[in-house]
Amino acid sequence: MQIQSTRMARWFVALTIILSLFAAACGGDDETTDAGPDTASDATSDLEGDFLVSGSSTVFPIVQKQAEEFAAANPGVAIAVEGPGSGDGALKFCAGEVPVANASRLYKDEEIAACEEAGIELIEIRRGIDGISVITSPDNSVECVTFDELYALISEEATGFGTWDAANDLLADMGSGSSFPTDMELAIFGPGEESGTFDSFGEIVIESVAKGKTGLDTESREYVKTIRPDYTASPNDNVIIEGIGSGPATLGWVGYAFAQEAADAGNAKLLQVSKEEGGECVTPTPATIADASFPIARFLYTYVNADAAADDPAVAAFVDYMMSNAGLESVAAVGYVDLAEADQALAQAIWTERTTGRSWS
């Protein structure tokens, strides 16, 4: 997946907005302003309210940290944050049950339509960058996997495979020259269908193979675009990590922050990934995720109900803090990657201007 900067025309729009805000707020002053307070202590301490933020378990650590910081400065506001998955969060958001929801992918067209049908105007804010990390047991001898190999292990064509080498015949049929050693039991752990990480992994990896983007001859045979149903699925990333540690040759995928934390604790190994056979094996790091040399990178999002933000000062103030300079420090602090400057400026302008509807392609 290639992470691209927002189109230049949109950057000029964002720049114009920001410069106009600067002029209005500061006049001849040298200080600049952003979408919210620079520190949690600057927040309005007499705010009152309570609300729930739902959605992506991947984005959860970012917003949980921001909620804790905001609540410390605003004791009258109680913010609960949960991470049942991007899809489940979208259901609650478009039903009007939560004013803010997180997603590790863009909302699907049908989710946008559901919000529109319910009369909910959404503000779509890009938050940061994640690299979906492929992980295994620290005892596994495998160091690098290609998209083709992941397809042969995790796609629906791999249903029933209980060992790594069971994928070898499928790899040969696909025209791949790679193979796995014998006597390696395969146990797969990953997010379920309610998760944006499930959707993103399927789109970036499985569909790339099916569309011939890894160099295979897709005219020679049919390929699926779906993930095998017979693996251990959980909406809880920590449960996935526990599963990875349950055997010597496990396989799974989670967001980078969770994967790196597990690797640092000795509970998992980050596998290098190559999009094409014979290509460069790349380890997920903040640098390789930011420059898209790690091939399973994707953007993270937060959705805000525009009417809720207008009607509830606590909701608006919290999103102000989320998008402030101090709040944005949480993205890197919990292990994800900051947006490029142009994208970050546009994201802040979208919130400041309360731009509704689809804002990112």
Question: Can you give the three-state secondary structure of the chain, one letter per residue?
Answer: CCCCCCCHHHHHHHHHHHHHHHHHHHCCCCCCCCCCCCCHHHCCCCCCEEEEEEECCCCHHHHHHHHHHHHHHCCCEEEEECCCCHHHHHHHHHCCCCCEEEECCCCCHHHHHHHHHCCCCEEEEEEEEEECEEEECCCCCCCEEEHHHHHHHHEHHHCCCCEHHHHHHHHHHHCCCCCCCCCCECEEEECCCCCHHHHHHHHHHHHHHHCCCCCCCCCCCCCCCCECCCCEECCCHHHHHHHHCCCCCEEEEECHHHHHHHHHCCCCEECEEECCCCCCCECCCHHHHHCCCCCCEEEEEEEEEHHHHHHCHHHHHHHHHHCCHHHHHHHHHCCCECCCHHHHHHHHHHHHCCCCECCCC
pTM exceeds 0.75 for this model: yes
pLDDT tens track, the chain, 361 positions = 445 444 333 433 343 333 333 333 333 333 222 334 444 444 457 899 999 999 999 999 999 999 999 999 999 999 999 999 999 999 999 999 999 999 999 999 999 999 999 999 999 999 999 999 999 999 999 999 999 999 999 999 999 999 999 999 999 999 999 999 998 999 999 999 999 999 999 999 999 999 999 999 999 999 999 999 999 999 999 999 999 999 999 999 999 999 999 999 999 999 999 999 999 999 999 999 999 999 999 999 999 999 999 999 999 999 999 999 999 999 999 999 999 999 999 999 999 999 999 999 8
In the chain the domains, ranked by start, together with CATH numbers, are 8-128+301-352 (3.40.190.10), 133-295 (3.40.190.10)
